[in-house]
Chains A and B, each alone.
Chain A
Amino acid sequence: MDGDQVKAWEALCIEEQPPACSAACPLHVDARAMAEKMAAGDFTGAIALYARVVPFPAIVAHICEHPCETVCRRAEAGGAVRIGALERALVEEAYPTVRRSAQRARKPKAVAVVGAGLAGLTAAFDLVMKGHAVTVFEADAQPLDRLHRDYRPAVLPPSAIEADVGALIKLGVDIRCRQRIGGDASLSLDALIADHDAVLMASGPGPASAFAATLRLNASGRIEVDRETRATSHPKVFASGLHDGSEEGWSAIGSAADGRRAAGSIDRFLQGASLTASRGGEAAGSCLYVEVGSHAAMPPVEAADPAAGYGHAEAIAEAARCFPCHCLECVKACPYLAHYKTYPKRAVREIYNNDSIIMGNRKSNRMIDSCALCGLCETLCPNDLAMGEVCLDARRSMVERGHMPASHHDFALRDMAFSRSDEVAFIRHQPGHDRSAVLFFPGCQLPASAPRQVEAVYRHLSERLPGGVGFMLDCCGAPAHWSGRLALHREVLDHLRTVWEEQGRPRVVTACSTCLKQIGEFLPDIPVASLWTELVAVGLPDVVAPRPVAGPLAIHDPCTGRHAHAVQAAVRSIAASLGAEVRELTGAEKTTCCGYGGLASFANPEVGNAFVDRRIEESDDDYLAYCAMCRDNFARRGKRALHLIDLVFPDADDPAARPDPGFSGRRDNRQRLRRRLLRDLWGESMSDPVPIPLVMTDAVRADIERKLLLIDDIAEVIAEAERTGRALKDRASGHLTASGRIGTVTTWVEYQPTDAGFVVHRAYGHRMQVEVKP
């Protein structure tokens, strides 16, 4: 995989963007995580998150201007989450649980902070936590004097200030009051610089002429400060942002962030690191997409006693109003991503790591092969990220280097090889014609599921279309494409092109949405149309018998036809013209996979079933599909479903009850269709093979299907055992157990010869080979 392409894919996923509240907070408090913990009743965990970022939780919880609330997305659905009130409730209840301990620096440095306001003390807090020795010099009689003056005790209780300042002193910060620096004071800035490794000027705005001898001043007589780094003209001296007089107005949370930025520079300076390298800006927006419309409006919780603020239960209820903000649009819709409990940004990295691993286990092989490549994530993603592209690229890369387990797709590729073999595949011009204007290409799965209707379609097209309608039973190569086998896919495409040219380059009409997409994408010079648009053009057959439609039908579009708008319209118009009341599920654009797409159900049956099961739950109506695999998968999982071809060419009284033929049944249907067509339409002599008579219960048959074993293989094992006598016998039951290596699988069969045939009791398989050592 190409590393740059991987980075580009990762960049498209915005799930890891911060939520709006966190992005708007000058300290980037993770209010989303905090609210999640509070909603779960974990106030201790919530305040731990809060206090990790907020230096003075008690103070800030009371006086923060909470810019987070002005951007909260809940505002669009009932009112912004009252994050400020939640913080107060949190501090009320859980403040005593806050535990902090400063790092031990190997070489502690001495830092002087001039000014014990919120900025200066935040810097002092950050630097003492880093292990430095911090002394704060304050001209007033007490630290945070401004807070005492500006806030009524009802808003900011003095006890909150005492608690936070007390905690700071306990961490080791030395706060010295009534210590004015500069001017005619006893302590000069030069003396501080001489005695300390760094100095922070955090005494607030105002003329700084007293420091003119040491620091460069700006035009308005204030200390000149670099906006990004808070550096002054003296390398050891930094100053909080208020000093240059350009701040728009004081804010509590803004001051704390200001002090933090200055402390960050001081720490870098003390370590000899760059003041600017890989340093984020102060303001950060968020492009996290949030589907607000999916949340019902809910007004904020009102505190029973507004003066006291939220009680415990009220705080939990209010915190639960946080959505929380996530994108996850694809994850919500995709059973594959949900199964692996991941989202694209993380999944892309995991897939890339799995692809590039040199030594050790590749733990994500099956995950890469479990994507249905259905394109729904791309349709839903605000940035059009297609996980299918990522997974397909990884499959190709790993297959090419022999790193992808062949077992994932072995069965599906064997089925494809069978469809392309002489046992199934054939091509003929219409009887009585030596050229074809049109070539009918039904695909693999419709002949495997509804062979009689395929024959009826062919007869109908032959009657209605001039110039000869050829017939081609073959595979479009989709399984090779989906499995990432580029060489095999190319081989299939080359074969198709050669045959098409030999047939005189006819227009192709296909009954399969996957074939339509595959031919359109990989053989663009072959003109191809869908059977359904063709039927609209040539007209439906004149049938006198009543159509087998009872009740409304919920229409399911195949994932490979997600963007085939003309086909979608044709299908709906055909169904309507036949009297069916068609209801939409998600609509074609947002249709889901049946699990067959991308060979997901072969690599991961659990994920495959999750796709179809989730779709089934969407409606109680019978489903109307126009992909044979979709219909058969619905039937397999117990959903009544019919194929559009059942409406156009009725073959049964209740087509929605038609069972899933299963893999063995599909093979059989293809073979029979070939023999019947060649015999009945082209007059070729065909002999039907004499099958080995097998008897098995439905449960055994379903078990064999689930294990991806074929009836043909089971018959072959029994025939070989009967011929050679090579089998094991259970003396108690008389059952015989035989095995045979077919392809890469050893198939075991437990059976019993009876007058009615061979009763199959069970079958199983494994890939490992065992033999007695010579």
Chain B
Amino acid sequence: MTGVSGGIPVPDLICARCDKPLEMRKVEASYLGQTFPVELPCCPSCGFVYVSEDLAYGRMLKVEQALEDK
């Protein structure tokens, strides 16, 4: 997917369980049966993916709505 991007990762965020800073990783986003690769900050150890509020109500919402109206 090209529409969603994690933007600049928040450097102060660490995974509370693994105590590791988040890194940009390729993850898979999916909605309504469509999947697409996207780079998002996530824990390199446990794979916890972080979605910021700006992303959730910004480009992610736009893509959700575009897929809904297909």
A-to-B contact residues, CB < 8 Å: 361-363, 365, 405, 407, 724-733, 736-737, 739, 746, 748, 762, 764-773
Contact = CB atoms under 8 A, between A and B. Distances in A.
A737 B13 contact: yes
Nearest to B53: A764
Contacts of A365: 68-69
A571 B15 CA distance: 59
Nearest to B68: A405
A770 B69 contact: no
Nearest to A725: B17
Contacts of B13: 728-731, 737
A764 B57 contact: yes
Interface in B50-65: 50-51, 53, 56-57, 60-61, 63-65
A725 B15 CA distance: 9
A769 B30 contact: yes
B22 A728 contact: yes
Contacts of B47: 771-772
9 contacts: A361-B70, A407-B68, A725-B17, A728-B48, A762-B53, A766-B60, A770-B27, A771-B28, A772-B47
A523 B40 CA distance: 52
B56 A728 contact: no
A773 B17 contact: no
Contact of A731 (B14, B26, B56): B14
Contacts of A363: 69
Given A727-B17, A772-B47, A773-B27, 18 more contacts: A361-B69, A363-B69, A365-B69, A728-B13, A728-B48, A730-B12, A731-B12, A731-B13, A732-B12, A766-B56, A766-B60, A768-B4, A768-B60, A770-B27, A770-B30, A770-B49, A771-B49, A772-B28
B8 interface: no
Contact of A737 (B4, B50, B63): B50
B27 A771 contact: yes
A736 B25 contact: no
A442 to B, nearest CB: 35
Contacts of A726: 16-17, 46, 48
Nearest to A731: B12
A727 B17 CA distance: 7
Contacts of B16: 725-729, 736
Interface of B: 4, 10, 12-17, 22, 25-31, 37-38, 40, 42-43, 46-51, 53, 56-57, 60-61, 63-66, 68-70
Given A365-B69, A727-B16, A746-B51, A768 B63 contact: yes
Contacts of B30: 768-770
B53 to A, nearest CB: 4
Contacts of A731: 12-14
A770 B29 contact: yes
Contacts of B31: 767-769
Contacts of A362: 69-70
A390 to B, nearest CB: 19
A764 B50 CA distance: 12
Given A765-B56, A766-B61, A769-B29, A739 B68 contact: no
A766 B51 contact: yes
Contacts of A733: 12
Contacts, number: 95
A772 B25 contact: yes
Nearest to A728: B13
A764 B27 contact: no
A139 B25 CA distance: 91
Contacts of B64: 407, 766-768
Contacts of A739: 51
B42 A772 contact: yes
Nearest to A354: B69
Nearest to B46: A726
Contacts of A772: 25, 27-28, 42, 47, 49
B40 A770 contact: yes
A705 to B, nearest CB: 15
A768 B29 CA distance: 7
A358 to B, nearest CB: 12
B69 A729 contact: no
Contacts of B40: 770
A761 to B, nearest CB: 11
Contacts of B37: 773
Contacts of B57: 764, 766
5 interchain residue pairs of minimum CB distance? A405-B68, A772-B47, A766-B56, A729-B16, A768-B31
Contacts of B26: 773
Nearest to B44: A772
A405 B56 contact: no
Contacts of A769: 29-31
A728 B50 contact: yes
Contact of B69 (A405, A762, A765): A405
B51 A770 contact: yes
B12 to A, nearest CB: 5
A731 B16 CA distance: 10
Nearest to A746: B51
Contact of B56 (A724, A727, A748): A748
B68 to A, nearest CB: 4
Contacts of B25: 772
Query: Which of A732, A765, A767 has most B Cβ within 10 Å?
Result: A767
Nearest to B22: A728
A407 B65 CA distance: 9
A578 B38 CA distance: 64
Contacts of A407: 64, 68
Contacts of B4: 768
A728 to B, nearest CB: 5
A350 B67 CA distance: 20
Contacts of B10: 730
Contacts of A728: 13-16, 22, 43, 48, 50
B4 to A, nearest CB: 8
A363 B70 CA distance: 9
B20 to A, nearest CB: 11
A355 to B, nearest CB: 13
Contacts of A725: 16-17
Nearest to B28: A773
Contacts of A770: 27-30, 38, 40, 49, 51
Nearest to A406: B68
A721 to B, nearest CB: 8
B58 to A, nearest CB: 10
Query: Which of A405, A725, A727, A746 has most B Cβ within 10 Å?
Result: A405
A739 B42 CA distance: 13
A736 B16 CA distance: 8
B22 A748 contact: no
A768 B57 CA distance: 11
A730 B9 CA distance: 12
A348 B21 CA distance: 54
Nearest to A359: B70
